[in-house]
Chains A and B, each alone.
Chain A
Amino acid sequence: MKTILLTLLTLTTAAAQVRYEDIVKGAGDNWLTYAGNFQGWRYSPLKQITLQNAANVVPKWTYHFPDANGLRTSPIVYAGVMYVTNSNSVHALDARTGRLIWRYDDGQAKRRGVNRGAAIYGDSVYFTTTDNYLVSLDRQTGALLFSHHFADASTGTISTSAPLVVKDKVLVGSAGGDTGMRGFIAALDPKTGAEVWRTWTVPARGEPGSETWSDLHEWGGAATWLSGTFDPDSNTLFWTTGNPWPDYAGKPREGNDLYSCSVIALDLETGKLKWYFQFTPHDLHDWDAQSWPVLLEIPWEGATRKVVVHANRNGFFYILDRQTGKFLKATQLIDNLTWASGIDDSGKPVIVPGKDPTAEGNWVCPSVKGGTNWMGQSFNPGTGLLYILTQEECGMFTLSNQKPVPMKNFAGGAATEPGGPVILRAIDPKNGKRVWQYPVGNTSRMWTGVVTTATGVLFSGDDDGHLIALEAKTGRHLWHYNVGDVITASPIIYAVDGKEYVSIAAGTNVFSFGLFEPAQSVPVPVITLEK
């Protein structure tokens, strides 16, 4: 019986191409997008690891990146192969053993920076280099299919986020907003990388919205440095945007600075703006709206309503209508929040005067890191809860009177990050109410996301370098493992040969965990040499 099983375990990846129909189904054995599904849930339907056996989770393998530093990659898994990224490189691993199958390095890239992950579609694995090349690689061999330059790093734009493939488009974002650049989202052709459309997140002079900037249209930021979400029913993309530049100095950009610190809804086919909602008009605290917009259906005033929910760096949690962007509700995500007394009926913050950065420094909560940040949140349809890593950190914001010079590392001031409680919180997305919370540290060094499963198990990380498992319904601790480094990435879940794995990058390694099984003795292979 054992022999038969082992024979069946031999896996070949002569699997079919990855189709839109596969991606739209969301995670299963495979994990095909950064957030697991188009709705941004980071949710796995796998059921092998349960509340009862999570205590038996053990490390299965570790893959070390020889040249990494604070990995931020979220793995993609397809047909038993895991794709993980580092700066300007993709590594393809056997997802059962962690052995390297192939790696692609762009040693000629003009910049190095963080990379959050790859995408997969057809027979291609996609990722972007820091200096804005979309690279397509044969998923089985790593052979280069194209490397297409989509933005000029000399204009301040770099690339850090995982591409998102929707139907026949590869969506790429833009980063670099803290030193001046003009944000955009671009749809590229999956076969060639050629641009299909590009939507700028700072309007050109004369375009609607440009009147909300006194100047700096070419350098206003509003970067798009995290993957967005997609609604197949309305063919709409939802993307969040970063802070306006200079981060802490508002004078050179008087007005609301559209479409910074916003969520924008774009037509997939054309990139045309359907609606926008700005969370923090004229932001002065570097509170990018980066955490992705999660797509849900919730009961609302006696009917089911399609909504976008969003936990913002400014410390508030928002519920918006998905079709129109209409503001429905906001609640306080964190306890230490001093810059606004609330959100009014139109969705605008009620500003507390005197909280802008000053020459002497102004103590404001939350800190520049925000009430939450880009770490991946999870929605679990079983518990109906949304899981968000939050931070109760305040900081000093100072203002510089220097003249802004783009790309000179000028943020218009400075902000401190002294540390503070980091708390994993379960929120009821129907009303924004807090259901439970679990403390995960006090130094605010880590940026760990969350994943949850159909069996009600939640995996995340803590400030002390532990991968942790909790009961999703209650926040009860189930298991932890010290990965030996600060975690700055989000866990994912996949299965190969019917075995469920949890995987996360931390520091310079990628780890994969699964349920304990006694080792089977493997005879030394008998190898014949052929001439």
Chain B
Amino acid sequence: MRISAALLLTLPVLLRAQHDQSATPKPNPAIKDPVAIAAGAKLYNQSCGGCHGPDGVGGRGPNLVRQLQSHQLKDDELFAAIRNGVPGTDMPPTSLSDDDTWKLTAYIRALTGPASDSRVPGDPVAGESLYWGEKAGCGGCHAILGKGSRMGPDLSNIGGSRPLAYIRQAIVPAKNDPSRNFALYGKEGVTVTLKNGKIVKGIARNRSNYSLQVVDTKGELHLIQMADVKALAVLNHSLMPEDYDTRLTATELRDLLAYLAKQSIRPASDNAKEDSK
């Protein structure tokens, strides 16, 4: 476990260093090509999934989804890491052809890119009913395009901004994930008793020693100075239900994921350009 954490921190640096030294072909002909991605998936399952997990969320090796979200690598940097391995770690070099390495790169891109770019199995219509119905009850906390409660994070663009594996883990975290029940510091469920007797219950959007900003159960924002607070109770776990692995069947989870993956405010992005006027 300690090794994995160290890898997580050092891998981007190692990958960049390698990229500087290795001459690799620049354009990736396989990116977004569904046939190449399917071929890449096969290669991944044979050679990579054992360490990085079948959906890229880690195991013996680092969580690629989380890592590539926070440290964006260019295609050729990813290519170089697959080709050359990462010295000093368990990540070995490979002997795959250029063509196969690009296919693998394309698959990892699809795996770690926005869910809306992926082919997601499942019935999004059934997933929509689950989302807004009582069984999954997502809309009770998470709004989509203005519908639903605004207390929890907005999911209008969840498919357009997060990989499928990331969304799946948010709903059904791995049993052995020690961060499973941790609420994000400063974003916890709170009950605030003010010196004037008023009580505010909701989710903190920000909390410091000096001020607190809370969205209550009705979606109303409260700006609070800590000097005005008499008592503050903080939930020690996330408000996100923990029983989706038993509450939903495998098919229902798949359908819900299919619906969430579709929540994207626009089609896939091109390379950004800068404009100044």
What residues of chain A have their CB less than 8 Å away from a CB belonging to chain B?
3, 6-14, 80-81, 94, 96-97, 99-102, 106-114, 130, 133, 138, 140-147, 149, 158, 160, 175-178, 225, 520, 522, 524-531
Contact = CB atoms under 8 A, between A and B. Distances in A.
A494 to B, nearest CB: 14
B187 to A, nearest CB: 11
A133 B166 CA distance: 27
B223 A12 contact: yes
Nearest to A497: B225
B195 A3 contact: yes
A112 B272 contact: yes
Contact of A111 (B114, B200, B265, B273): B273
Contacts of A113: 274-277
Most chain B CB inside 10 Å of its own CB: which residue of A96, A107, A529, A530 = A530
B206 A10 contact: no
A77 B44 CA distance: 51
15 contacts: A12-B200, A110-B270, A112-B275, A113-B275, A114-B277, A140-B219, A143-B146, A143-B219, A225-B277, A525-B232, A528-B231, A528-B232, A529-B233, A530-B191, A530-B233
A531 B269 contact: no
Contacts of B236: 529-531
B265 A102 contact: no
B272 A525 contact: no
Interface in B227-245: 227-229, 231-237
B211 A99 contact: yes
Contacts of A99: 206, 208, 211, 213
B51 interface: no
B225 A96 contact: yes
Contacts of B114: 108
Interface string B139-180: 000010110001100101100110000000000000000000
B221 interface: yes
Nearest to A100: B206
Contacts of A531: 235-237
B234 to A, nearest CB: 5
Contacts of A130: 275
Given A133-B266, A530-B236, A531-B236, A141 B154 contact: yes
Given A7-B195, A99-B211, A112-B274, A13 B232 contact: no
Nearest to B274: A112
B248 interface: no
A3 B276 CA distance: 49
Given A6-B225, A10-B196, A138-B143, 5 more contacts: A13-B221, A108-B269, A140-B220, A142-B154, A530-B234
Given A99-B211, A108-B160, A147 B266 contact: yes
A354 B70 CA distance: 57
Contact of A144 (B145, B200, B273): B145
Interface string B200-221: 1000011011110101000111
A107 B231 CA distance: 38
B268 interface: yes
B91 interface: no
A522 B150 CA distance: 31
A175 B232 contact: no
B277 A522 contact: no
Most B Cβ at <10 Å: residue of A13, A101, A102, A525: A525
A9 B228 contact: yes
Contact of A11 (B150, B208, B223, B274): B223
Nearest to B191: A530
Interface centre among B146, B191, B215, B269 (most CB of A within 10 A): B146
Nearest to B204: A101
B226 interface: yes
Contacts of B225: 6, 9-10, 96-97
B32 interface: no
A108 B266 contact: yes
B275 A114 contact: yes
Contacts of A145: 145-146
B224 interface: yes
Given A81-B221, A99-B208, A144-B156, A522 B227 contact: yes
Contacts of B226: 522, 525
B211 A94 contact: yes
